[in-house]
Amino acid sequence: MLKLDFGHHAFVASPYISGLIHHLESRFQNLNIIGAFSVLGPQAAALGDDQNNSHLQTLAKRFLPGKETLILQDWQSFKEHMLGGGAFKDKNQAEIMTLLDSECDEWGQIYPLLSRLAAVALVIPVSSVNCETSPQ
């Protein structure tokens, strides 16, 4: 915990900083969910199972309740495809998720739970802030 010494100004600064921290935490409370989608990226297959399983559990609890065990089983098979190359060789995360979500590709049928997660990830807005332009 950050400890700041404001001396006699603490009666003003402390409530302000506490309020600021509270608002930041409430504004960005779902960052762990956004970060968990990294499990669908090419680097995830090379990471340890504990981290990937944690990400999958986070996503399953939020988007696929009751499917936590099934998604871990799908992941083990999917991970082998990722490590083996093939269709996923030299693909970035967006391309992998697009393959999983495609109605014209077999990957969505082979891994329906991962396909649903990919579909969710692909529609998450990159930013919730309106674009600002500077006057010229």
Q: What is the pLDDT of residues 26-52, one digit of tens each?
A: 766 666 788 889 999 988 888 888 999
* 1 pLDDT tier (thresholds 50, 70, 90): very low
Q: What is the pLDDT of residues 98-115, one digit of tens each?
A: 999 987 888 888 999 999
Residue 110: how many CA atoms within 13 Å on its side-chain side?
A: 13
Can you give the residue ranges of every domain in the chain?
Answer: 33-123
Tell me the whole-structure pTM to 2 decimals: 0.69
Q: Could you tell me if 96 and 111 are in contact, meaning their C-beta atoms sit under 8 angstroms apart? A: no
